[in-house]
Structure 1
Amino acid sequence: MKLQTKITLLFFVISAVGLLLMNAAIFYFVSDFNFEDFFKRLEARVRFAAQIKIHPDGRTAAYREAKVKNLEMLDGERDFVARINADGSFKRPLNLPDEFYNTILNGNRARYDRENHFYAGSLFITPYGKYVVIAEAIDPYGYKELNELRKILIIIFIVSVILAYIAGRVFSYYALNPLRNLIKSVKNISANNLHMRVDEANGGDEIAELVSTFNHMLNRLETAFETQNNFVSNASHELRTPLSIISGETELLLARKGLDAEAIKNVNTILHEAEKLENILASLLGLAQSGFDGKKQNWQLIRADELVITAVESVKKIATECTIDIDFSELPENGDQLQTEGNMNLLHLAVSNIVMNACKYSSNQPVTVKIVSQKGAIKISVIDRGIGIPKQEQKYVFEPFFRASNTGKFEGYGIGLPLTLNIIKLHQGSINIISEEQEGTEIQVMLPVAE
C-alpha cells in the first residue's frame, strides 16, 4: 500500500471517528434535554394533581383553573392518586417497576419511560395522610423531533465522511508531492550519471534534510565508483605487465641448455604459478567490472539460441573430450520470445562459464543445454551428471573463492560462478541451482524477454 493511500485512510478514519462521536454527542444532549424538559412538565402536573385531589378545601377550584390556564394538555395525560395505609401498603394505580414505587416511598422524585409513555411520581405527606401521586403522558412530538434529528445527523455524517475522504486525498497528494519529485529525481541517477544531484528543497523540513542526505550519499558513491573504475581500468596494465615479464623470462630460462632436472622442475613451477596468477587476475578484473558497470551503450538484442550455440562452440574448443547436446525441442514458434537485451560478450562469458563447469565437474560426461521461453522469461538449463554439490554448501557457491568440499581434485579458483551471477543480475536475470551429490547438477539461468 502506498504512503499516500495510508495517509488518506488514516485521515478518513480519524475524521469518521470524530464525526461519529460529535454526532452521537449532539443526539445524546438534545434527547437528554427533550426528556428532561418533558419530565419537568410532567412533574408540574403531579403537583397540580396533588393540590386538586388531596386538599379538600376551597382552593381546589383555583388550582384547577390555574392548571387549565398555565399548562397545556399533554397527549394521553392522566394522573393517579393513591392513599398509603397505616401499614405502608397502597393500591398501585399502574403496572410500573418496583424500583419506581420504592423511589417515591423514599421521598424522592421518580421518573420512568417506556415506549414513548412517560411517568413521573412523588410522595405527598399531608395532615390527611400520605399519598402517592403519579402523572402519565405521551410525547409524540419529542420522539418525532428526535427521529428527524437522527436522520439529519446520519445524512450530515455520510456527506461529511465523503468530504473528509476527498480532503484526505487532496491533503496526502500535496503533502507527498515533494517526496514524489525526490523519487523521480533519484530514479534518473544511475552508475552512468553519478555526477547528477537531487535539487535542493526549500525550507528546513524533513524533505530538505532527506535531499541533503541523498546528495551526501551520492558524493560518497561517486568517489567509490571512480576509485573502482580507475582500479579496473589500470590494474590490467599495471599487474599483467610484470606477470608477462615473469612468464617470458621463465620460458627463456627453460629454453636454455644445461639446466639440471631440479632447476627445470623449479622453473616449471614458477611458470605454472605465474600463469595461474594471471588467470586469477583476469577473473578478478572481470568480477569487479561486471559488479559495477551498468552502462548500456553496448547493449543489443540477443537471441538466446544463438548465444548458447556460440558459448557451446567456445567450450568445445577447450574441453575437446566433452560431449555437449543442445536441446531445442521446446523452442517457441515466435522467435521474438527468444530475444533478450544485453551485452553479448558478458552473456557469452556467463553461459560458457556454466557449461565449462558442467564439463569439468562431470569428468567430461555428456552435458545437456536446454532452452525454454515462457511467461516473458527465457530459461537456459545446463544439466550434467557430475559430482554434484553438497546440499548444505549450495548456498555458498556464489561467494567469491568458495569451492565445494568435493572439488579438491579439480582445478579452480571459486570465481567463475560469482562472476556469472553478477553478469546475470546486471541483465535483470536470476540463477537457480538444483543439485544432488554424486548424481549431477542443473543450473537454470533466467533472462527477461526483450520488450
Structure 2
Amino acid sequence: MKIQTKITLHFLTLSTGVLLLLNTFIFYFEYQFNYRDFFKRLQARVKLTTDIRLFPGEKARAYQEMRNRFLEKLQGETEHIIKASPTGMFVNQGLPDDFFADLAANGNAEYKKENQFFAGKIVARGNDRFMVVVSARNPYGLQELDELKSVLFFGFLGTLIIVFFVGKVFSFYTFAPVRKLTNRMNEITSNNLHLRLDTPGKDELAELSNTFNDMLTRLETAFETQNNFVSNASHELRTPLTIINSEVELALDKAGDDAAQHEMLTTIQTETNKLTQILNSLLLLAQSGFDGKKQDWQNTRIDEAIWQAIESVKKIQPKSQIEVDFSKLPDDENLLEVSGNSNLLHLAITNIISNSCKYSENKLVTIQLRVEKSMVVIAIKDQGIGIPADDMKHVFVPFFRASNTHDFKGHGVGLPLALNIIRLHRGSIGIRSEVNIGTEIQVFLPSVKA
C-alpha cells in the first residue's frame, strides 16, 4: 500500500474517532438537557399544584387561571397528593417504590421509568404533611432525541465522505514533492550518474535529496574508478602481450627443427593469445556498463541483428547448424525495432548464439523471434550439454564456468557481457536448462513502437 493511501486512511480513521467522540458528547449533553428541562417543568407543576390544592384562596385561584391559560398540559399528566398519617407516615398509592422511598426520606425527589417522569416534594400545612407528586410522559423529548440521532448519523456519514476526499487531496499535494523526487530518481541510470536531485528549501525532503546526491556522487566515483581501472589495465597489459606475441613468432621462425623449443614457444604463444582474449573480453565487459557518457543509440531491427550475428558465428564456427524460426513474426514489422546501440546488441546476440553452438557440439540450434505485448523476444534453444542445477545461479557471474564445461574452451565472459548489454537496453534475459538435453535462453527487449 502506498504511503499516500496510508495517510489518507489514517486521516480518515483519526477524523472518524474525533467525529464519534464529538457526536457522543453532543448527544449526551442534549440527552441531559432534555431530561433536566422536563424535570424543571414538572417541578414547576408540583409547586403550582401545591399552591392551588393545599393553599386555596385568591392567590390559588390566580395560579389556577394562569395555569389553565398559559401552561401546556403535558401528555399523561397526573397529580398525586398523599397525606401523612397521624404518626407522620406516608402510604404509597401506586407510585414507583424507589421514587416513593427517596421522596419520603429526602423530602424532594425526581424519578424516571422508561418514558414516565415523576417529580415530587413533601409540603407542610399546619400540623399536617403532604406528599405532592406530578407525573407525565415526554414523547416530544424522545422525538427530539431521535431526530438528533438521525441528524448526527447522516451528518457523520456525510462528513466522513468529505473527510475522505479532503484527505486524498491533502495527501496528494503533500506527497507531490516526493513524486517529483521519485520521477527524478527514475531518470538517473548508469548512463547519467552525473545528474543530481533538486534540493529546494531546508525541510526533510531537502535533507533526503542531499543524502541521495551524496550517494550518487559516491556511486559515480566508484563506477568511474572501476571502469577506468579495467580500461587502463586492459590497455596497458595488451601492449606487452602484443610485444611478447611478436617476439614468440620471431622465435618460432628461428627455432628451426628443434621440436622441444618449437613446442615450448607454441605453448607460450597459445597462452599469450588466450590472455589477450581474456583482456579483450574484460575490456568489453567494462565498456558495456557505465562509461560516463550516453551510448550512441538508434533504432535497430532485431531480425537483421540476428542474421548479422549468425553470419559472425559462422565465420568462427563454420560447422555450426543454425535454424531461424520466423513463424511467429508480427504483421507490423515496425514492432521488431528496439532502441539501442547496434554494435553492442550485435555483440550480445552473437555471444549467446556462439555459446549455444559451442556447447551443443554443432547440433541444431533454433532461434525464434516473436513479439509479446511490448517486448521483442529472442528465444535461442540448443541441444547441448545443458547446465547443472547447482550452477544455474552463477552463469551470469564473470569468469564462472559450469562444472561440465571442462572439455570446451572459454573464459566465462560471454553471458555476463550479454547480460550487461541487455540490461543497458532496459531488457532482461531468462534461462532454463537440463543436463544432456539442452539450454534455452530468452532475451527480452522493449519494442520502440509498442
User: What TM bracket, shorter-length normalisation?
Assistant: 0.7 to 0.9
Q: Partner letter of residue 251 of structure 1?
A: E
Provide closer, same or farther for how the CA distance between residues 405 and 187 of structure 1 changes in structure 2, counting only shifts above 3 A. Answer: closer
Provide closer, same or farther for how the CA distance between residues 325 and 109 of structure 1 changes in structure 2, counting only shifts above 3 A. Answer: same
What is the percent sequence identity of the aligned residues?
Answer: 49
Q: Partner letter of residue 138 of structure 2?
A: D
**Counterpart for residue 331 of structure 2:** 333
**Counterpart for residue 283 of structure 1:** 281
Provide closer, same or farther for how the CA distance between residues 170 and 443 of structure 1 changes in structure 2, counting only shifts above 3 A. Answer: closer
Q: Provide the rounded CA distance (Å) in 1 between the counterparts of 2:226 and 2:220.
A: 10
**Counterpart for residue 11 of structure 1:** 11
| 1:21-420 pair list within 5 angstroms | 21-42=21-42, 59=55, 68=64, 72-80=72-80, 93=94, 109=109, 111-114=111-114, 117-120=115-118, 135-154=134-153, 156-158=155-157, 160-165=159-164, 167-203=166-202, 205-258=203-256, 260-293=258-291, 296-420=294-418
SS of corresponding position for 1:256: helix
* Structure 2 gaps, min length 5: none
Q: Partner letter of residue 29 of structure 2?
A: F
Q: Partner letter of residue 448 of structure 1?
A: P
Q: Provide the rounded CA distance (Å) in 2 between the counterparts of 1:404 and 1:109.
A: 98
Q: Partner letter of residue 167 of structure 2?
A: G
SS of corresponding position for 1:76: coil
The answer to whether the Cα contact below 8 Å between 1:322 and 1:359 also exists between their aligned partners in 2 is yes
Q: Provide the rounded CA distance (Å) in 1 between the counterparts of 2:147 and 2:255.
A: 119
Instruction: Decide which moves more: 177-186 or 407-416.
Output: 177-186
Corresponding pairs, count: 441
Q: Provide the rounded CA distance (Å) in 2 between the counterparts of 1:353 and 1:312.
A: 10
Q: Provide the rounded CA distance (Å) in 2 between the counterparts of 1:140 and 1:167.
A: 40
Q: Provide the rounded CA distance (Å) in 1 between the counterparts of 2:304 and 2:25.
A: 76
SS of corresponding position for 1:277: helix
Q: Partner letter of residue 208 of structure 2?
A: L
Compute the displacement of 1:242 (Å): 0.9
* Structure 1 gaps, min length 5: none
Instruction: Decide which moves more: 378-387 or 162-171.
Output: 162-171
The answer to whether the Cα contact below 8 Å between 1:353 and 1:417 also exists between their aligned partners in 2 is yes
Q: Provide the rounded CA distance (Å) in 2 between the counterparts of 1:251 and 1:100.
A: 125
Provide closer, same or farther for how the CA distance between residues 443 and 180 of structure 1 changes in structure 2, counting only shifts above 3 A. Answer: closer
Q: Provide the rounded CA distance (Å) in 1 between the counterparts of 2:21 and 2:444.
A: 57
Compute the displacement of 1:167 (Å): 4.2
The answer to whether the Cα contact below 8 Å between 1:194 and 1:222 also exists between their aligned partners in 2 is yes
Provide closer, same or farther for how the CA distance between residues 77 and 363 of structure 1 changes in structure 2, counting only shifts above 3 A. Answer: same
The answer to whether the Cα contact below 8 Å between 2:348 and 2:418 also exists between their aligned partners in 1 is yes
Compute the displacement of 1:90 (Å): 7.9
The answer to whether the Cα contact below 8 Å between 2:381 and 2:440 also exists between their aligned partners in 1 is yes
TM-score by length of 1: 0.83
Provide closer, same or farther for how the CA distance between residues 99 and 411 of structure 1 changes in structure 2, counting only shifts above 3 A. Answer: farther
The answer to whether the Cα contact below 8 Å between 1:104 and 1:121 also exists between their aligned partners in 2 is no
SS of corresponding position for 1:341: strand
Q: CA RMSD in A?
A: 3.7
Provide closer, same or farther for how the CA distance between residues 199 and 430 of structure 1 changes in structure 2, counting only shifts above 3 A. Answer: closer
Q: Could you list the per-position Cα deviations for residues 256-288 of structure 1 after superposition, in whole angstroms to 9, with x for gaps in the alignment?
A: 135643333322222222111111111111222
Q: Provide the rounded CA distance (Å) in 1 between the counterparts of 2:197 and 2:364.
A: 55
Q: Provide the rounded CA distance (Å) in 1 between the counterparts of 2:127 and 2:402.
A: 113
Compute the displacement of 1:220 (Å): 1.9
SS of corresponding position for 1:325: strand
Provide closer, same or farther for how the CA distance between residues 448 and 180 of structure 1 changes in structure 2, counting only shifts above 3 A. Answer: closer
Q: Partner letter of residue 12 of structure 1?
A: L
Q: Provide the rounded CA distance (Å) in 2 between the counterparts of 1:328 and 1:190.
A: 34
Compute the displacement of 1:124 (Å): 6.8
SS of corresponding position for 1:75: coil
Compute the displacement of 1:177 (Å): 3.7
Compute the displacement of 1:77 (Å): 0.7
Provide closer, same or farther for how the CA distance between residues 363 and 82 of structure 1 changes in structure 2, counting only shifts above 3 A. Answer: farther
Provide closer, same or farther for how the CA distance between residues 393 and 230 of structure 1 changes in structure 2, counting only shifts above 3 A. Answer: closer
The answer to whether the Cα contact below 8 Å between 1:101 and 1:110 also exists between their aligned partners in 2 is no
Compute the displacement of 1:44 (Å): 5.9
TM-score by length of 2: 0.83
The answer to whether the Cα contact below 8 Å between 1:232 and 1:289 also exists between their aligned partners in 2 is no
